[in-house]
Each structure stands twice: as structure tokens, then as C-alpha cells.
Amino acid sequence: QTSPATPQTVRFPDGFLWGAATASYQIEGAVDEDGRTPSIWDVYSRLPGAILNGDTGDVACDHYHRMPEDVALMKRLNLGSYRFSTAWPRVRPDGAAVNQKGIDFYSALVDELLEAGIVPWVTLYHWDLPQALEDKGGWLNRDTAHRFVEYATTVYDALGDRVQYWTTLNEPYCSSLLGYTAGRKAPGRQEGVAGLIAAHHLLLAHGMAVDELRGLGATPENGKQVGITLNLTTAEAFDPAEEADVDAARRVDGFFNRLFLEPLFNGRYADDLATDTEGMTYQDRPWQDWIRDGDLDLISRPLDALGVNYYSPQGASGRPHEDLLGAGVPHATRPAASPFPGGEEIVFPRRGLPTTAMDWEVRPEALTRLLERVRDEYAVPPIYITENGAAYDDVVTPDGAIHDSDRRRYIDLHLRAINDAINDGVDVRGYFVWSLLDNFEWAFGYHNRFGIIHVDYDTQVRTPKDSGLWYAGVAATNQLPGV
């Protein structure tokens, strides 16, 4: 007899892809080498107060110079796949002419991975827009989408012979609403409904790139898969009996999930998004003025894979801060600038759930529900969990080990939640832990560590954490051991 407190061994489907993920600006460093020019993150990270401790990605994990060592570590951890992003400002500095040295780096990485028996998974855009394009309006300028297609073509021409899995964008929610409405990510602009224009142009860039890559031969018949990665979540009313909380949850669902799922899979924007943003303008015009005929056709081109990044649920309230405090809620975070156009009053009160060092709630079963919901409500292609993981305050013991049992437990519980969804019929084909290495955690700099491999930023020494050694066993056996 096994009680629920002693989880059993669970197996994953044959061929399940076990991987780890990173992103260019978060690990590479070498920001002005071999022709790379600044991205919006090089500029944003230098704004006073933007990043904890004034950290930047100038050196990061120095992966640009340590790539073979890092691939050897992946092999040691039995990874079946490695998800990385290519840096636009390396491949096409300033968003302009092709830079062969930039291409050479990624080509060497792909060769090194294949040599090690690791499947490369390319993400074309993980937030590092060339600053020169931001200077021309960034994602508020439709031309940026055309420049993205050129860049995507260059990368596909160089790596398409050896790379099977292609993702256009990572988390357009972050590059649009956090970058142009909340100003919490680069380029740090707080321009209200403009975030929705950025979202539309990002989706357009995705759709046009899919079309272009298909033309270049990126099709399942040729063994290629093209998709996009979204950060999806469950939006839960803080108090389901409070109308304002239910409405807040609807809007949060709208901005995190449906803003992207509806155009991608139904070829439309949701009606409630239009109602909620009625009367809001950018340069005196509603955001929908930036949508042109044919855009939604391009955006809704069929995909071969949907990447889902999941970290935490969102428990939302629409009630005034004072009312919540009166109702006994000790703390409700309200960002200085809201990412939600028309939903500026929305807050995320604490709910007594366990949290990670990011202050994000841990609720693994929300991932099961999320996957089932996406399957039920949208005609989605096979799903890959392209990111999931946790930051905790790791302690290096005197023997040099990192006993991160909290991170191992977080990953274990979320893998069980995914397994539950698979048993319920959801087609999930792979899992990428975020992250391979401790790295530049955006606004939190080097303070918050997500790696299954520890990085000593003084010496650049890498040490697999207990979670990484445990994960190596999971990847090798295709199953979670009972505890």
C-alpha cells in the first residue's frame, strides 16, 4: 500500500523529450564581441534602478566562451534536448546586414550538441531586440515584424539542415505588455494600450516568419516542427463570491492567455478585450487601428508544436487595496505600473500558498488544469513544456554541493502534474527545465537562481546541484522515482 504522501513511480510516454532551457542574453555575455551590437536589454539594464544591484548581461555565464564545456555538462546530465535562443543582434547586428561570426557561433553550438547526441531546439526571439530597431519604434513599428522575418530566414538558412525544432517567439506577453505597458522589462516603456499594438506586431512577426520558413522547407514532411512559446497560467478569482474578483480573473485570463491563444488558434481577438479597452488610445487612435486586412490569417497559420511556459497560478482581485486589507489580507502586491490596459485596478493578493524566492505561488495541479483547458478550448498541436522551474535561495555546503531539495521537489511535483494531464489524454511530448544554469534573471539580476547547475559568478565554475543530478536520472529512465 502506498499512501498519497509517498508518491509512486510514474512513467512518461516513450520518446518523451527531456531537456533544459536557456536564453541568449541571460547566459552568453560577450556583448560586444565578434560584431554583436546592443540589444534593448544592454540599454535597459543600464537604466538606474532597472535591475537589482545594477547587474547587466555583459558577462553573465560567459557561455559564449565556454560553450563546449556547457554542452559536456548537458551530456553528463543525460539531456535529450537543449532549448536555446539565438541573439538577433549577433546574427544581424542593428537588425541590418548578416554577421557571419554570429552565425558561426550558433552553428558550432548545433554541431557540438549533435555530436553529444542532444537535440537542438532553437528559439528565434527571447526578448533581445536590436536597439537600433527600438530606436525606430521597436515593436510599435510594423516594420520590425518584416525585419524579424529577414532575421529568421538567416538563421534558418544557416541551421535548418541540422535543427528540427523551431520556435518563433518566447512569451510575447512579456515583450509586449511588460515591455511597453508596465515598463518592467526592456524597453521599459509605460505607454498604456501601446502594449497591445506591440503584441499584434509580435504575433504578425510570428505568422509571417512561419509562412516564410514553410517556404524554405520547414515542414513536418521534412521532419521539421515550427511553433511558438506562450507563458500561460490559470487565472483564479481571489474570492469567487466577489464579482470584482471574478471580473479581474477574466481580464487576467484575457491578457495572459487569450490575447495570444485567440488570434493564433481562432484567427481573432476576443470581444471582451475590445470592450475592456474601449476609449483607450495611442497617438489618438484605438489599438485595433494597427491591425490590417490579412494579418489574422497570417497569425493563425497552423503550427506543429505549442510551447507552454508555466511557473505559477495567478489569484486576482479587482477590489480596492483598502477593502482587501480590511478583509484580512496581509499583503497584496500592486505593481507601480499595471501591465493590463483598462484593468489597472487588478491586484494579486497572497493566498497562503507556498512561494518560491520569486514570491511566485506553487500550485502544481494548476498546470494539469491549464493543459486540459487549452486542449478542451483550442485546436492546439502537440504541447511541449518549454519552461518550468523555480528560484530558491541555494546554499553551497562546505563540500561544494548544493542540496536544493526544494527545487527538486518543485520539478517533481510539476512533472507529476504533467503526467496527470497526459493520462487524461493531453498530448504533451516534452519538458524543459528552466534553467540549465543559474543566469541573468532579468530585473532580478544574478540574485535569483533558477539553475539545475550552480554558477559561481566570480570563477565561472559550474557545479550540478542535487536537482540536476536527480534530473539526470529522470531523463535516463523516462520516469519519476517514487519517494
Name the binding residues.
26, 126, 170, 311, 434, 441-442
CA dist., res. 68 & res. 91, Å (int): 20
Widest CA span in the chain: 67
Shortest distance (Å) from residue 228 CB to ligand GBH? 13
Provide, rounded to whole angstroms, the least separation between the CB of residue 447 and ligand GBH.
Answer: 12
Asked if residues 112 and 67 have their Cβ atoms less than 8 Å apart, the reply is: yes
Which one of 28, 134, 171, 262 is the catalytic residue?
171
| Helix, strand, or coil (residue 151) | helix
What is the contact mask toward ligand GBH in residues 47 to 76, using x (rule: CB under 6 A)? ------------------------------
Q: Nearest CA to 174 among 207, 213, 129? A: 129
Under rule CB under 6 A, residue 123 binds ligand GBH: no
Q: Where are the beta strands (DSSP E) in 162-249?
A: 165-170, 225-231, 235-237
Pull the grid cell for residue 25. Answer: 542574453
Residue number, 128 or 412, with CB nearest to ligand GBH: 128
**DSSP-derived pairing of the beta strands 225-231 and 165-170:** parallel
Residues 265-294 contacting ligand GBH, CB under 6 A:
none
Binding segment for ligand GBH (CB under 6 A), chosen from 136-144, 170-178, 281-289, 420-428, is 170-178
- Please tell me the distance from the alpha carbon of residue 446 to that of residue 451, in angstroms, as a whole number: 11
441 binds ligand GBH (CB under 6 A): yes
DSSP string, 341-370: TT-TT-BEE--S--B-TT--B--HHHHHHH
E-assigned strand segments in 98-137: 119-125
Using CB under 6 A as the binding rule, whether residue 23 contacts ligand GBH is answered as yes
8 A C-beta contact, residue 266 and residue 408: no
Binding residues among 373-402 for ligand GBH as defined by CB under 6 A: 387
Asked if residue 24 has a cis previous peptide bond (ω within 30° of 0), the answer is no
Which residues sit in the known binding site for substrate? 26, 126, 170, 311, 434, 441-442
Is 176 in contact with 238 (CB distance < 8 Å)?
A: no
Buried b (16+ CB within 10 A) or exposed e, 242-265: bebbbbbbbbbbbbbbbbbbbbbb
Please report how close the Cβ of residue 184 comes to ligand GBH at its closest, in angstroms: 8
How many residues make contact with ligand GBH (CB under 6 A)? 12
Say whether residue 360 binds ligand GBH (CB under 6 A): yes
The distance of closest approach from Cβ of residue 174 to ligand GBH in the complex, given in angstroms and rounded to an integer, is 6
List 112, 134, 361, 387, catalytic entry: 387
Provide the minimum distance between the beta carbon of 379 and ligand GBH in the complex, in angstroms, as a whole number: 25
Tell me: does residue 231 bind ligand GBH (CB under 6 A): yes
Question: Is 236 noted as a catalytic residue in this protein?
Answer: no
Q: Distance between terminal CA atoms of the chain?
A: 14
Residue number with CB closer to ligand GBH (387 or 420): 387
Q: How far is the CB of 454 from ligand GBH (least distance, A)?
A: 16
The radius of gyration of the chain's CA atoms, rounded to the nearest angstrom, is 21
387 belongs to the catalytic site: yes
Q: What is the Cα–Cα distance from 261 to 235, expressed in whole angstroms?
A: 15
Among 82, 84, 265, 434, indicate the residue that binds ligand GBH (CB under 6 A): 434
Which residues 309-338 are close enough to bind ligand GBH by CB under 6 A? 309, 311
Please identify, using beta-carbon distances, which residue of 253 and 441 lies nearer to ligand GBH. Answer: 441
Active site residues: 171, 387
Residues that bind ligand GBH (CB under 6 A): 23, 170-171, 174, 231, 309, 311, 360, 387, 434, 441, 450
